[in-house]
Amino acid sequence: MTPVATREPGAAKRHTINDVARLAGVSKKTVSRVINESPFVKEETRKAVLEIMRETGYVPDPQARGLAFRRSFLVGLIYDNPNPQHTISHQQGLLDAMAGSGFELVVRPVDRNSPKLLDDMRDFVERQKLFAVVLPSPVSEDEKLAALLRELDVPYVRIGSVALDEPDRMLVSHDGRGAAQAARHLADLGHTRIALISGPPTFRSSIERRKGFEEGLAEAGLTLAPDLAKIGAYTYESGVAAAHDLFALEARPTAVFCLNDEMATGVYTAAREAGLRIPEDVSVVGYDDAPIAVRLWPPMTSVRLPLRDMGRMAGEMLVPNALREKRADAHEVQPQLVVRGSSAKAP
């Protein structure tokens, strides 16, 4: 057998499709067919080519392939999330799905309120000829962006609290169901004056979580009292402020449900300032189950979303990967209430 140079340290130029073709005694087109798993290659030829590829350590050049394909091997992650934990978890999951696939992840933070967003995205996607795009919430809620991607014929998956698009383009986290669990949990503990601190109405997650919460209350025969419904900004400070108001009420709530952990953490601060004990005087429930939930005292009851899984599933919906059998068929995940020490029987 012809001795084949293996990868020399340093200098050694990487082998090209021409080297493989020559060594295998076939045309480069046949090698190309093997690379692209065309069925029109004799099994014998295919094996011989694969053997040469293995020996030489040949790996196709993604730039050259991309140029010829008129499409790159890059997946874009376009995010605008104030919560780094969300982004990094999604990113990690996406990379889990892409590992060993030959695709790479290009990250792109954006300002979803920028008037230039659509122009920037068009330029980004066209210029890089992106293979696919993942849109976590709240960027996923931008209908114009989704329309642009369809126009540019770029596959995408939107990650969101509720179905906003066709099933193949959507990973749904059913945020409302988690909020309903929280409502039932508090109702089961005997609470009747349950307050809500929601996020900005510009976040669909806030709308869905609130809706789910109210439905959960309704199941238990309760309703959300108008004076107990506060609107926060998904920030710690807004949680402090809203809870401050709630705790100043004559008939103050015995439980507070916050639509994210940042605001719930603010409730801890406000409770301490108001001289209220958690959970003896007031129960607190958050949403996200962020790392801080178990670092606070008492550890916080919160609704968990499988963020990393969500990223992975979105990746599996978009990226072919030889390490996997086939693409993901499940397009949804379920939130899960995690009960800890911050919620207890109503006083």
Partner DNA sequence: CTGAAAGCGCTTACAG
> Distances in Å between the alpha carbon of 220 and those of 206, 227, 276, 342?
21, 19, 26, 21
- Contacts with DNA, 295-314, as mask; x by CB under 7 A: --------------------
144 binds DNA (CB under 7 A): no
User: How far is the C-alpha of 5 from the C-alpha of 291, rounded, in Å?
Assistant: 51
What is each CA distance from 96 to 48, 315, 319, 323, in whole angstroms? 31, 8, 11, 11
**Nearest distance, CB of residue 126 and DNA, angstroms:** 11
- 22 CB-contact burial (10 Å; exposed 0-12 / middle 13-18 / buried 19+): middle
202 is a site residue for DNA (CB under 7 A): no
Task: Work out which of 41, 77, 130, 207 binds DNA, going by CB under 7 A.
Answer: 41
Determine if 184 is a binding residue for DNA (CB under 7 A).
no
- Residue 54 binds what, of its own copies, DNA, none (CB under 5 to 8 Å, by partner type)? none
The nearer residue to its own copies, 62 or 200, going by C-beta atoms, is 62
Q: Does 84 bind its own copies (CB under 8 A)?
A: yes
Cα 53 from chain centre: 36
User: Rounded to the nearest whole angstrom, what is the least distance from the CB of residue 72 to DNA in the complex?
Assistant: 12
Q: How many CB atoms lie within 10 A of CB 1?
A: 6
Q: Are 293 and 261 in contact (CB under 8 A)?
A: yes
Q: CA 182 to CA 195: how far, in whole Å?
A: 12
Nearest CB to its own copies, comparing residues 108 and 184: 108
Q: Which residue, 236 or 247, is less far from its own copies as judged by CB?
A: 236
By CB under 7 A, is residue 102 in contact with DNA?
A: no
Site string for DNA, 48-67 (x = CB under 7 A): ----------xxxx--xx-x
Contact of 86 with 136, CB cutoff 8 Å: yes
CA 198/CA 339 separation, integer angstroms: 20
First to last CA, the chain: 83
Alpha helices in the chain (DSSP H): 17-24, 28-35, 43-56, 62-69, 84-98, 117-128, 143-151, 175-188, 204-219, 236-247, 261-274, 307-318
Of residues 213 and 287, the one with the C-beta less far from its own copies:
287
47 or 297, CB closer to its own copies?
297
Here's the x/- map for its own copies, 115-154, by CB under 8 A: it reads as --------x--xxxx---------------------x---
User: Using the rule CB under 8 A, is 235 a contact of its own copies?
Assistant: no
As measured in angstroms, the least distance from the Cβ of 42 to DNA is 3
Closer to its own copies by CB, 45 or 81: give it. 81
Contact 278, 298 (CB under 8 A): yes
Binding stretches for its own copies (CB under 8 A): 9-10, 14, 59, 61-64, 66-67, 72, 74, 84-85, 87-89, 91-92, 95, 104-109, 123, 126-129, 151, 236, 265, 268-269, 272, 292, 294-297
Binding stretches for DNA (CB under 7 A): 13-14, 16-18, 26-33, 35-36, 39-46, 58-61, 64-65, 67-70
